[in-house]
């Protein structure tokens, strides 16, 4: 047997329990931070709960918005990154509703600062020119209300109005059923969140689905079972990964 020459290396020290725990915590926290940065600065997903953008966006569509393109806000600050482009007429935009500063809305941008907006007998005019409806926009009410006829007067006849500096005028594609800038005014630039880009998931509404009630915990598993059974019927497969225009 060969004698040791005295130069054998000592076995490497094994990491302790606390070192292993810290390493896992560090990896987890890093992942959380990166996810938050991506969510707040690059892309974010939104569920659409109303039909104000039909038929471009349906109730139950889940959309992904590009927050980087308009200059995303840096988390925990009021600073924005440089914008790749400015919002322009025709863009579908996600923004914070000016009325409460909390709720997220999605509408189509129809006019920017300095442009004159007017609605005459349901037709949209910008700078005196008729703006044709996009292909999937719709009107569902044949009635045309005159100016000043309670709330519906703003819907069908409105303006003229010049969009102020650093503001945007928004309208829903479902023109007769959209609560938008015709009713509550333009959107300030600092409330813009991003440009809606793609429908990544679409879940059809179903009136027969069990209603979840706080007072009845069993409604949760009932809904889960119902959705599992009807999964392939409720997913709008033809809308998945659809680019929005």
To the query of whether residue 202 is one of the catalytic residues in this protein, the response is: no
To the query of whether residue 122 is one of the catalytic residues in this protein, the response is: no
Task: Please state the three-class secondary structure of the chain as a single string.
Answer: CCCCCCCCCCCCCCCCHHHHHHHHHHHHHHHHHHHHHHHHHCEEEEECCCCCCCCCCCCCEEEEEECCCCCCECCCCCCECCCCCCCCCCCEEEEECCCCCCCEEEEEEEEECCCEEEEECCEEEECCEECCCCCCCECCCCCCCCCCCHHHHHHHCEEEEECCCCEEEEECCEHHHCCCHHHHCCEEHHHEEEEEEEEEEEECCCCCCCCCECCECCHHHHHHHHHHHCHHHHECHHHCCEECC
Catalytic residue among 41, 52, 154, 202: 52
Catalytic residue among 41, 67, 107, 154: 107
Catalytic residues: 52, 107
């Amino acid at each position: 047997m060969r004698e040791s020459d005295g130069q054998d290396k000592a076995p490497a020290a094994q990491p302790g329990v606390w070192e292993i725990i810290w390493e896992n915590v560090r990896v987890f926290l890093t992942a959380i931070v990166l996810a938050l940065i991506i969510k707040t600065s690059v892309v974010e997903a939104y569920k659409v709960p109303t039909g104000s953008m039909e038929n471009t966006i349906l109730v139950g569509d889940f959309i992904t918005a590009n927050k980087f393109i308009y200059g995303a806000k840096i988390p925990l600050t009021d600073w924005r990154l440089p914008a790749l482009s400015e919002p322009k007429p025709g863009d579908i935009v996600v923004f914070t509703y000016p009325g409460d500063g909390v709720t997220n809305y999605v509408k189509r941008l129809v006019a920017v600062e300095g442009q004159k907006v007017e609605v005459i007998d349901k037709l949209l005019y910008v700078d005196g020119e008729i703006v044709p409806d996009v292909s999937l926009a719709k009107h569902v009410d044949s009635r045309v209300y005159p100016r000043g006829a309670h709330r519906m007067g703003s819907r069908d006849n409105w303006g003229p109005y010049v969009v102020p500096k650093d503001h945007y005028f928004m309208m829903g594609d479902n023109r007769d059923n959209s609560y938008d800038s015709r009713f509550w005014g333009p959107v300030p630039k600092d409330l813009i969140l991003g440009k809606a880009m793609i429908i990544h998931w679409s879940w059809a509404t179903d009136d027969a689905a069990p209603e979840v009630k706080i007072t009845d915990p069993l409604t949760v598993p009932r809904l889960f079972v119902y959705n599992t059974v009807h999964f392939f019927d409720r997913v709008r497969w033809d809308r998945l990964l659809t680019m929005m225009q």
